[in-house]
Chains A and B, each alone.
Chain A
């Protein structure tokens, strides 16, 4: 399965949920927000959200700014 994660193409084997992907990127879940194909996915929805080929995933957190 090929995904775009934070603008970078990634190839992941088998079935992967959004919760799995976030866990690969960070040990944190607080302070993290995720959008898939431009839609916000609430934290409670991460485990049930199976990722599909071609999904564009944005995994975001606190940054300096403003």
Chain B
């Protein structure tokens, strides 16, 4: 019997990761908390935003030291950008600051849902691919848009399960299945995860990885939830590969009737 590939090995942008859980840092309150949740999650790829050096979001500095100490790869984002031009500029600033061409591309189109602006997103993706970036776009669960982003040269597509920070889970599982079939690049469920079962479902639906932040950082016990997410992603991946049983309308006895005594 040949040895199956490791369940967790995950190739993205020419790099292989041991973990399929990508940790967002939105909502962490201190570098010390960040270090604890990274270690508990087992994540090897961690997002970082770019903000004014005197803003409270920098937590007084120390983030980069924590990320270096944990040995994780940085995934800078363009969070908060509203236009392609703004996002492209922030991506270039992030490349300057963090010396990586990887970018989580976010171009927000609506204040209340924080869903992406498809037109601006695709435009920004095309420009950043041309500029040599490894582009990981935050997108919707629209399979057609996902294909357009993949065709533009994005290294993965990252559909939302539900709006950012909503914790509503995966609103349209069927769209995710369709999306998974519409592209060959990795599909990373990004946004909407509320608890461990949501992350497991994303993996069962065929996603290659899960990116989450709020579900961990805003949990009552972030370290415990980070541990739960680590197991959920691994369990979902295993289950996806294991071949689940068919759904049945009626019961099918698991214990054989044959050999039952007459009493």
- Docked Cα-Cα span, A29 to B61, in Å, equals 12
| B53 and A65 contacting across the interface, CB-CB below 8 Å | no
Interface centre among A7, A38, A39, A62 (most CB of B within 10 A): A62
Tell me the smallest distance from the CB of A4 to a CB of chain B, in Å.
12
Tell me the smallest distance from the CB of B55 to a CB of chain A, in Å.
7
Interface string of A1-30 (1 = CB under 8 A from B): 000001100000000000000000110101
- Docked Cα-Cα span, A64 to B25, in Å, equals 5
- Docked Cα-Cα span, A38 to B88, in Å, equals 11
A63 in the interface, Cβ–Cβ < 8 Å?
yes
Interface string of A27-42 (1 = CB under 8 A from B): 0101111110011101
Contacts of B64 in A (CB 8 A): 30-31, 62
Interface of B, helix, strand, loop or mixed by DSSP? mixed
| B96 and A63 contacting across the interface, CB-CB below 8 Å | no
Interface residues of B in 98-146 (CB under 8 A from A): 98, 104, 106
B9 in the interface, Cβ–Cβ < 8 Å?
no
Q: How many residues of A contact B (CB 8 A)?
A: 25
| A26 and B53 contacting across the interface, CB-CB below 8 Å | yes
Interface string of B27-66 (1 = CB under 8 A from A): 1100000100000000000011111111101110101100
A52 in the interface, Cβ–Cβ < 8 Å?
no
Known: A62-B49, A64-B49. A25 touches B54 (CB 8 A): yes
Contacts of B57 in A (CB 8 A): 63-65
Contacts of B55 in A (CB 8 A): 6, 63
- Docked Cα-Cα span, A33 to B103, in Å, equals 15
The contact size tier of chain B is: 35 or more
| A65 and B96 contacting across the interface, CB-CB below 8 Å | no
- Docked Cα-Cα span, A30 to B97, in Å, equals 6
| B89 and A64 contacting across the interface, CB-CB below 8 Å | no
| B52 and A65 contacting across the interface, CB-CB below 8 Å | no
B163 in the interface, Cβ–Cβ < 8 Å?
no
Contacts of B52 in A (CB 8 A): 6-7, 58-60
Interface centre among A6, A28, A66 (most CB of B within 10 A): A66
Interface residues of A (CB under 8 A from B): 6-7, 25-26, 28, 30-35, 38-40, 42-43, 58-66
Q: Show 23 residue pairs from A and B whose CB-CB distance is below 8 angstroms, ordered by the A residue.
A: A6-B52, A31-B97, A32-B97, A33-B93, A43-B96, A60-B53, A61-B51, A62-B50, A62-B58, A62-B63, A62-B98, A63-B57, A63-B58, A63-B59, A64-B59, A65-B51, A65-B57, A65-B79, A66-B24, A66-B49, A66-B76, A66-B79, A66-B106
